[in-house]
Structure 1
Amino acid sequence: MADRNTTGEDLTFRLATQSDYDAVMSISEGVYEGRDYLPAFYRSFVDDPDVIVFLALVGSQVVGLRASKITENGTAFIVKAARVAPDWRGQGIDGRLSLHQDEWMRQNRPTVKYKRSTAFSLATGVVESMNKKMRYIFGMPFIEYQCGPGLWWRQDPAQLAQLEPTGLPDVVPLQDADDDFCTAVQKWLPAGACGGYDGKPVILVDWDPYTLSPTNLKRLQANNTIYTLNHEGESSLSLSNTYLSPTVRILCVQIYSKDFPTVLKHLLRHLKDTSHTYRSDVLCVGVFVPQCELDDTIHDLCKQTLQMEQVHPPKAQALVYESEM
């Protein structure tokens, strides 16, 4: 049975296929000012049995999309992407897609007990909508800068070593994380990170909320570079991934540590890795840290020392929401 949007048009819903790629890209044109992640991930979303991608259609025209990933051993899902065609925005289509998705989850994934989503604090309309529909859990500072390949450290990434703090060991690839490691890292998470449905600690990984657990860290290693640093009995954690958007290469870095020197040590390693591999790409670097007091310091590092171009003003945050099914 067809649903209706606010203008009375009949809406139908179906699962997306690979052949819908062009139609989906057409409704996503211009999203995130050319830094949209969906072109890089759409095909893998459709192929992943744990990612459910629904389309909304008026007749045969694709007018909306919702993609969600089943997580936490089948007990939760996270909203990975939501799109509405420009000419159809403001007509309730995403809300209808959300209701259809939730009902499908209840019928086809009965073990799912709650859903999680994120919003950018500067997207005020989205935040207002989320505050009405879901429960706010916590926020993390999000710092984003862009640079071309001509900067001094892009041309010779080894020069980043001169910025490294003294007295700290190198960051090293994470091997087998256990419960003790997760407990050690948990103390660096934002306030409220354990305030979700199940009371377990939650981390952000490229805007997606996951429970901090050995199982999830092992799964995340498939698509992320993960480092740790152990010093004076304290453990820290960082994760990054990189992909091409329509206009720039995106590098997304999350760092969970106690202070700026350890944050800096982690960040420089991820910048060095990416610059070595992608020397000629324009790079957009997004950094998530749990401590609000580090926001200004990291902005100064990116703008003054690394000489990158600021994308968003200070005090921007990634906001995490949750609701029960």
Structure 2
Amino acid sequence: MAVEGHTLEFCLAEEADFEEVMSISGDVYGGIDYLPARYHAWIQDSVRRVILAKKKGQIVALVSVNIVDDGHTAVVEGLRVAPLERGKGIAGLIQGYSLNLVKDQFPEVKVRRYVRSGQLAPEILTKFRLICKQEILSVQFKAEDIRPKLEAAFTWLKESGKQWEDPVLLGASEAKRLFLSQRVVDEVLPGKAIIQDWVPYKPLESNLEKLVSQDFIWMADDKEEPTVLSLGTAPYRVPLGTGYHRLNIDIFGKQFPRARNQFLAQLQQRVSTLEGPIYCLLYFEPSIWQDMLSFCQTTLELHKDRDFGGQNLLEADM
């Protein structure tokens, strides 16, 4: 395959490629890239294909395609192109190769899904269906600094009558039952999808089995008729700086007080076992953006670190 006079070679990624892959993606996401923490697990996953593009033997691009939804959906993740090779069409070529490979190896796949940040160009919406959008609030803090602020926030909310109700921790069976509930799917989940740290899943038994087996924190405002649910991903190391952890909290539902309560409870659960700097990404319903931002700024003294422009779930037929 010719690209600017050179030939691209495609192959599956291997353990030994890790350092070279990291060398082409060091500037991605400003130091909070998830790929270093996931690479090794990705290449061992039997229903995922991690593809490399090489030029003259050197890695110039990577993309991952994860097969979910009982084998019917291909989720495209982790696109990386070496800095000096960007803007040359390599991204489109490696994605095209990977999707063709997936169609050959997983013939039941019907659609592909992407989760992208930022403003969508008009031409994107001619190729993809926009399923839903979540807002993203990014904040930085040290675990030891945020713990007393969380305690003070809990005390203030409980004493002031600011619609405080203790969030409910969910076990695996409870999480599965609620996230598979038709009412929750129709009324609570954005676009009828469970978006876990940028990965979209349809609410299916097989997906929930996979999710509840991982080190996540599941919460609800009610065990029987929830209006807000949340999912906290286990923190992982990122390249931003020495000892930095990234923490992701996905909140589903439109009622701000209950979303706020679960944000605080999720945060408390995680920072109780961490030390040092944390980069937290909070994903939630766009209609409660201003309330959540104001609460973080005034009560927790946390300020938006960067503007991601929202989280968009896109879908197209294969």
**TM-score normalised by the chain length of structure 1:** 0.87
Q: Per the alignment, do residues 214 and 264 of structure 1 end up closer, same or farther by CA in structure 2, a change over 3 Å counting?
A: farther
Matched, 1:19 2:11: no
2:296 matched residue in structure 1: 302
Amino acid at match of 2:278: L
Matched, 1:319 2:317: no
Correspondences of 1:104-143 after superposition (within 5 Å): 104-122=101-119, 127=121, 130-143=124-137
Q: Which ranges in structure 1 are unaligned for 5 or more consecutive residues?
A: 194-200
Matched, 1:270 2:269: no
Give the distance between the partners of 1:26 and 1:212, measured in 2 at CA. 36
User: Displacement of 1:95 after TM fit?
Assistant: 0.5
Amino acid at match of 2:232: S
2:249 matched residue in structure 1: 253
Q: Per the alignment, do residues 19 and 130 of structure 1 end up closer, same or farther by CA in structure 2, a change over 3 Å counting?
A: farther
Contact 1:135 1:322 (8 Å CA) reproduced: yes
Amino acid at match of 2:259: V
Give the distance between the partners of 1:258 and 1:95, measured in 2 at CA. 36
Contact 1:206 1:254 (8 Å CA) reproduced: yes
2:184 matched residue in structure 1: 185
Give the distance between the partners of 1:110 and 1:213, measured in 2 at CA. 20
Give the distance between the partners of 2:222 and 2:205, measured in 1 at CA. 17
2:28 matched residue in structure 1: 31
Correspondences of 1:61-72 after superposition (within 5 Å): 61-72=58-69
Q: Cα RMSD (Å) of the superposition?
A: 2.2
Correspondences of 1:44-123 after superposition (within 5 Å): 44-122=41-119
Give the distance between the partners of 2:193 and 2:248, measured in 1 at CA. 17
Correspondences of 1:194-209 after superposition (within 5 Å): 201-209=192-200
Contact 2:139 2:302 (8 Å CA) reproduced: yes
Give the distance between the partners of 2:70 and 2:261, measured in 1 at CA. 33
Amino acid at match of 1:4: A
1:196 matched residue in structure 2: none
Matched, 1:146 2:140: yes
Give the distance between the partners of 2:116 and 2:179, measured in 1 at CA. 31
Q: 2:232 aligns with which of 209, 217, 240?
A: 240
Give the distance between the partners of 2:153 and 2:38, measured in 1 at CA. 31
SS at match of 1:239: strand
Give CA-to-partner distance per residue, 1:27-46, whole Å, 9 cap, x none. 00111111111011111101
Contact 2:118 2:309 (8 Å CA) reproduced: yes
Give the distance between the partners of 2:178 and 2:265, measured in 1 at CA. 25
2:222 matched residue in structure 1: 230
SS at match of 1:178: helix
Give CA-to-partner distance per residue, 1:16-67, whole Å, 9 cap, x none. 0000000100000111111111011111101111221000000210000001
Q: Which ranges in structure 2 are unaligned for 5 or more consecutive residues?
A: none
User: Displacement of 1:310 after TM fit?
Assistant: 1.5
2:154 matched residue in structure 1: 161
Amino acid at match of 2:188: W
Contact 1:38 1:81 (8 Å CA) reproduced: yes
User: Displacement of 1:299 after TM fit?
Assistant: 0.8
Q: Per the alignment, do residues 235 and 149 of structure 1 end up closer, same or farther by CA in structure 2, a change over 3 Å counting?
A: closer
Amino acid at match of 2:128: M
User: Displacement of 1:235 after TM fit?
Assistant: 4.5
**TM-score normalised by the chain length of structure 2:** 0.89
Amino acid at match of 2:2: R
Aligned residues: 306
Give the distance between the partners of 2:122 and 2:56, measured in 1 at CA. 31
Amino acid at match of 1:264: R
Contact 2:68 2:75 (8 Å CA) reproduced: yes
SS at match of 2:62: strand
More off after superposition, 203-212 vs 89-98:
203-212
Q: Per the alignment, do residues 10 and 220 of structure 1 end up closer, same or farther by CA in structure 2, a change over 3 Å counting?
A: same
Amino acid at match of 1:112: V
Q: Per the alignment, do residues 129 and 21 of structure 1 end up closer, same or farther by CA in structure 2, a change over 3 Å counting?
A: farther
Contact 1:169 1:230 (8 Å CA) reproduced: no
Give the distance between the partners of 1:221 and 1:231, measured in 2 at CA. 16
Matched, 1:284 2:279: yes
